Chains A and B, each alone.
Chain A
Amino acid sequence: MSEMRDSVVRPPTLAQAGVEAEQEEDERQRHLPTWFLILWRNMRSRFGMFLLLAFILVAIFAPLLAPYNPRDNTFMPTQLPSTAHWLGTTQSGEDVLSQLIYGARTSLLVGILAGAGATLIGLVIGLIAGYVGGLTDEILSFFINLALVIPALPLMIVIAAYSPVKGIWVIIIVIIVTGWAWGARVKRAQMVTLRERDYITAAVFAGDSMPRIVFREILPNMMSLVIAAYIGAASAAIGAEASLEFIGVGDPTVISWGTMSYWANNSGALLTGQWLWIAAPGLALALLITSLALINFGIDALSNPKLREE
């Protein structure tokens, strides 16, 4: 997926020096987290945050914003856009706009949950591999590399198609299972560099326990990395969900932008000239992922001062 490529080419070595320098600079503004300020200063990521907020608000207030119930199929089917139905109606007589608005919920849910799941697994495996080292590292690294080279989408399609049940949860689990590896690899690399740092060595000699070192000393220094990984995983998950639903291995009874595209394509929307029915969910999807990508600009800058805007 294209989202995956974005994360692939992100420079693997992420300097932390910049963050530390910023911390002194922003001593006065302690009430706001540093990372947020850096993101805020970056025009692109500020715009991205607004856009994302807009999507979140639409999802939360969907029942107020949507003109109709998205499952209400009592309207005339296959209508072209009109004042009553801005984006027309589906083949079974549902309002397309209402479905579009409710669809934001599914995409955000998938992004939040699948992104969190993939990030968490990646974090745990990456940290263990990087911290413990030795044979454990060898074995975990093997699994990380294995999961990286097995083509994700074909694997997702096979698992989703052969899963005995259908539903959004299956899709979320499939995405987590196939999507954790990149985060794990980056975090392992980061862990390996951090482990060599003096203050960690000092902590080890002082007899601190491993969880304490990991949670108190290491994790705080990896925050930007974790957030970046989370955003990357969330956008990949949102895109993957839509693709799986579109080709029909998901659950077509869920209302999401992917299933909307699936129904539009399978109900002859191209033939009846209802191109907005197809265009709208895909565009909404692209805008949501764009908002995440824009935020990631700021995060790149967070970890790599050279990319910061003057």
Chain B
Amino acid sequence: MKVSRRSVLLMAAAPFVPIVPASAQGSSSEGMVQQLNLGSMGGGTNPQINFNPFAPNKLSLGTMFEKLYIINDYNCDLVPWLATKYTWKDPRTLDFVIRTGVKWSDGQPFSAKDVAFTFNMLKKNPALDINGATQLMSAVSANGDTVTFTFSAPAAQAFYQIGDTWIVPEHIWSDQQDPVKFTNPKPVGTGPMLFDHFNSQELVYKRNPDYWQADKFKVSGLRYTKPAEGSADQLRLANGEYDWNAMFVPNVQKVFVDRDPQHNHYWFSQGSPISFSMNLTKAPFNDVKFREAMAYAIDRDAIAKKAELGYVTTASQTMMQIPGQKDWIDPKIADQGKIAYNKDKALQTLTSAGYKQQGGKLLGKDGKPIQFNFMVPAGWSDWIQAAQIIQRNLADLGIKMNVETPTAAIHDQRRASGDFDTLFTVPAGLCSMYTNFSLPLNSAATAPVGKNATSNWIRFKDPATDKLLAELASTTDPAKQKPIVYQLENVMMTQYPLIPLWYGAVWFEYRTEKAIGWPSESDPYCSPNDTELVLMHLRPPK
């Protein structure tokens, strides 16, 4: 459920391209950052022109388009962007005040009408609505500088989906008969970058001198290259060809940083918690005591160190990201909800709940040895290694867990239909607290075994949780949301529907040769996924 499209576009890699001399990039002006190489242009192995911001296979948009709000992925700050202000009139009515003085890159003025047009288009073409922004929306209208959204049900969470949607110009898109098939070859946006040129090996953007906050934006250009896989791309990173990238690198210190310690840096921050997830319709997983024991039985540190190469940190049972979302954690919960590996406590919990250890095997309440399957998509190597660690941990308790590796497609299909015992899921990690808890736990998002569930694959059903979620959806004031979130965290702490294990890493490598001001562990002003915020902070080195 982690919706980090930006990181997606930066994922992976590119082929052999000699570094273009900086002088060729046209920007000699003082105080400017030279063109930066950001790696993968997205769009698959044979990238085609596609600047439709709603398409899954679009090219890296390079900040051509903008959103109403930027939701800081790291600390969840709401940064006004194309909108200056938002107000909930009631949980079904949301107003945005649109920024004035903004121009489209073809010179036409940007207005609230463009915003209303964009959302009406998404409503009419659900195939473009990749955020689900219009799912509850019944109408949207522009009135002067204000855009008003009305919803068919209380929808406090809709702010995050609406605020996070690209806004496109009405005067271009209204001419499109079928916007779903529109590749937008001559993109017009409001952002700080303009499309310069594309071939299947590179995609180049140049600075938009008429950008509405051009005075604060110092990067003269962006260059993306064709994605590649594997070592070739890692080598290019090691050789310093990328100023900014988001790839997994084995032994990053040795392979990347040590090659040029002065300029090469990395910061792997915390993403969504990868969680041990059980099919709650089956025994013994329908027993909360068994689930509690699982929370102590798994050696999260070993997974973080071995399977994830020490790039990640262990996760809080509350599902909140630490440290980014630590303010959302109920202060009454000990250790911020981090549960330490404790084999003895796990065994004790199990025996006191009626499970017996006999001849090295753990017997269920029916007296039969407990054994079950764990499903990991084939080829997801770090997950497979993590599963093997869990396998050994559980074997220590006398539980036999078989690791099976079907293809990703079969895995996803069986996950949806409930045809599994245990597996990893990736819940939460977003700034919308409602979405964090609703996707994995809302009974509306589940289905009986045999039918496809949308996101509550573990089939958790709890009327109290549903009620809390409904309350959260109708609470628009963040201060009042907190106590509800605390209660949801306590559902996690007492019912253990999921066992969060570690936070997936947000890959981020950067070089300080051409630019400084990158977010880092010591200055985590935003997540590297927040491309706009990062670029606004960059300055040439002194």
Query: Are A and B in direct contact (Cβ within 8 Å)?
Result: yes
Residues of A within 8 A of B (CB): 73, 77-78, 91-93, 161-166, 248, 251-253, 263, 265-272
For A270, list chain B residues within 8 Å (CB).
Answer: 231, 235
Asked whether B250 lies within 8 Å of A265 as measured between CB atoms, the reply is: no
Asked whether A164 lies within 8 Å of B254 as measured between CB atoms, the reply is: no
Provide the B208-247 mask, 1 if CB < 8 A to any CB of A, else 0. Answer: 0000000000000000000000110011001000000000
Closest 9 CB pairs of A and B: A270-B231, A268-B250, A271-B231, A271-B234, A166-B378, A248-B379, A164-B410, A268-B231, A166-B405
Q: Given A252-B405, A263-B381, A265-B231, does the pair A93, B306 have CB atoms closer than 8 Å?
A: yes
Chain B, interface size category, equals 20 to 34
Asked whether B407 lies within 8 Å of A251 as measured between CB atoms, the reply is: no
Q: Given A252-B384, A263-B381, does the pair A272, B407 have CB atoms closer than 8 Å?
A: no
Residues of B within 8 A of A (CB): 230-231, 234-235, 238, 249-251, 254-255, 306-307, 309, 378-379, 381, 384-385, 403-407, 410
Asked whether B405 lies within 8 Å of A272 as measured between CB atoms, the reply is: no
Write the chain B residue with the least CB distance to A270: B231
Q: Determine the distance from Cα of A266 to Cα of B234 in the docked complex, in whole angstroms.
A: 11
For B254, list chain A residues within 8 Å (CB).
Answer: 272
Q: Which of A93, A248, A268 has the most CB of B within 10 A?
A: A268
Interface of A is mostly: loop
Q: Determine the distance from Cα of A91 to Cα of B381 in the docked complex, in whole angstroms.
A: 11
Closest-CB distance, A205 to chain B (whole angstroms): 57
Write the chain B residue with the least CB distance to A161: B407
Q: Determine the distance from Cα of A126 to Cα of B238 in the docked complex, in whole angstroms.
A: 56
Asked whether B406 lies within 8 Å of A266 as measured between CB atoms, the reply is: no
Contact of A271 among B255, B307, B379 (CB under 8 A): B255
Q: Determine the distance from Cα of A77 to Cα of B308 in the docked complex, in whole angstroms.
A: 12
Asked whether B309 lies within 8 Å of A77 as measured between CB atoms, the reply is: yes
For A251, list chain B residues within 8 Å (CB).
Answer: 378, 405
Q: Determine the distance from Cα of A107 to Cα of B407 in the docked complex, in whole angstroms.
A: 23
For B378, list chain A residues within 8 Å (CB).
Answer: 166, 248, 251-252
For A271, list chain B residues within 8 Å (CB).
Answer: 231, 234-235, 238, 249-250, 255
Asked whether A92 lies within 8 Å of B306 as measured between CB atoms, the reply is: yes
For B385, list chain A residues within 8 Å (CB).
Answer: 73, 92
Asked whether A166 lies within 8 Å of B230 as measured between CB atoms, the reply is: no
Closest-CB distance, A267 to chain B (whole angstroms): 6
Q: Determine the distance from Cα of A162 to Cα of B307 in the docked complex, in whole angstroms.
A: 27
Closest-CB distance, A222 to chain B (whole angstroms): 41
Q: Which of A263, A265, A271 has the most CB of B within 10 A?
A: A271
Q: Given A248-B379, A263-B381, does the pair A272, B251 have CB atoms closer than 8 Å?
A: yes
Asked whether A265 lies within 8 Å of B230 as measured between CB atoms, the reply is: yes
Contact of B255 among A73, A265, A266, A272 (CB under 8 A): A272
Closest-CB distance, B378 to chain A (whole angstroms): 5
Asked whether B403 lies within 8 Å of A253 as measured between CB atoms, the reply is: yes
For A78, list chain B residues within 8 Å (CB).
Answer: 250-251
Q: Given A78-B251, A252-B378, A252-B381, does the pair A266, B230 have CB atoms closer than 8 Å?
A: yes
Closest-CB distance, A195 to chain B (whole angstroms): 46
Asked whether B255 lies within 8 Å of A252 as measured between CB atoms, the reply is: no
For B404, list chain A residues within 8 Å (CB).
Answer: 165
Write the chain B residue with the least CB distance to A250: B378
Asked whether A266 lies within 8 Å of B381 as measured between CB atoms, the reply is: yes
For B379, list chain A residues within 8 Å (CB).
Answer: 248, 252
For B251, list chain A residues within 8 Å (CB).
Answer: 78, 268, 272
Q: Given A268-B250, A271-B255, does the pair A166, B407 have CB atoms closer than 8 Å?
A: yes
Q: Determine the distance from Cα of A146 to Cα of B198 in the docked complex, in whole angstroms.
A: 44
For B309, list chain A residues within 8 Å (CB).
Answer: 77, 91
Closest-CB distance, A169 to chain B (whole angstroms): 13
Q: Determine the distance from Cα of A251 to Cα of B381 in the docked complex, in whole angstroms.
A: 11
For A252, list chain B residues within 8 Å (CB).
Answer: 378-379, 381, 384, 405
Asked whether A253 lies within 8 Å of B405 as measured between CB atoms, the reply is: yes
Q: Determine the distance from Cα of A262 to Cα of B380 in the docked complex, in whole angstroms.
A: 12
Closest-CB distance, A288 to chain B (whole angstroms): 25
Write the chain A residue with the least CB distance to B385: A92
A-B contacts, 26 of them at CB < 8 A, read A73-B306, A77-B306, A91-B250, A92-B306, A92-B307, A164-B407, A166-B406, A248-B378, A248-B379, A251-B378, A251-B405, A252-B379, A252-B405, A253-B403, A265-B230, A265-B231, A266-B381, A267-B250, A268-B234, A268-B251, A270-B231, A270-B235, A271-B234, A271-B238, A272-B251, A272-B255
